[in-house]
Amino acid sequence: MIAAALAALEADGVKLLSVSRIVETPPLGPSNRRFANAAAEIHWAGTPEALLTLLQSIERQFGRKRWRRWGARVLDLDLLAFGQLQLAKKRLKLPHPALPERLFVLHPLAEIAPNWRHPQLRLTVRQMTARLQKPRPFI
């Protein structure tokens, strides 16, 4: 599914610069199945909003229906960042607000862009990953 989604992106004018390995992860939220996650660095000549529209169009082509948060879905394409752009619109927030909190996103991202720096936190992907993996004391 991920390979097919990447091919669909390329068919729509997105240039793939690098793609991480696909990693299997447990669900976030209520689900009985595991998920496959990957990250891709791309070149896109358009706006972030146009890219989001394209991603959502590809999701629909693959059968995604947006009807319930955490609902079952065949494909979920997220726009994580757009260089160092900071954007806070109703439809799109960049960088993705949950990016620093999700290892299933950070692990693949660390493969392809370990030194990308979050424009608000000023932390690299490697540093955000280390923060989440740091052992926490029990109280």
- 12 belongs to the catalytic site: no
**Active-site choice (73, 91, 131, 136):** 73
- 64 belongs to the catalytic site: yes
**Active-site choice (12, 60, 66, 76):** 76
The more confidently predicted of residues 85 and 76 is: 85
Domain spans of the chain, in order of start = 2-133
Contacts of 132 (CB under 8 A, 6+ apart): 100, 101, 103, 106
User: Could you read off the pLDDT of 1-37 as tens digits, one per residue?
Assistant: 999 999 999 999 999 999 999 999 887 766 677 889 9
- Residue 127's pLDDT band (cuts 50, 70, 90): very high
Q: Any idea what DSSP says for residue 117?
A: B
Q: Are 25 and 35 in contact (CB under 8 A)?
A: yes
pTM of the model: 0.87
User: Could you read off the pLDDT of 111-124 as tens digits, one per residue?
Assistant: 999 999 999 999 99
CATH architecture of 2-133: 2-Layer Sandwich (3.30)
Give the helix/strand (H/E) hosting 5: helix 2-11
Instruction: Please list, residue by residue across 78-102, b when 16 or more beta carbons sit within 10 angstroms of its beta carbon and e when fewer do.
Output: ebbbbeeeeeeeeebebbeeebbeb
Q: Are 43 and 115 in contact (CB under 8 A)?
A: no
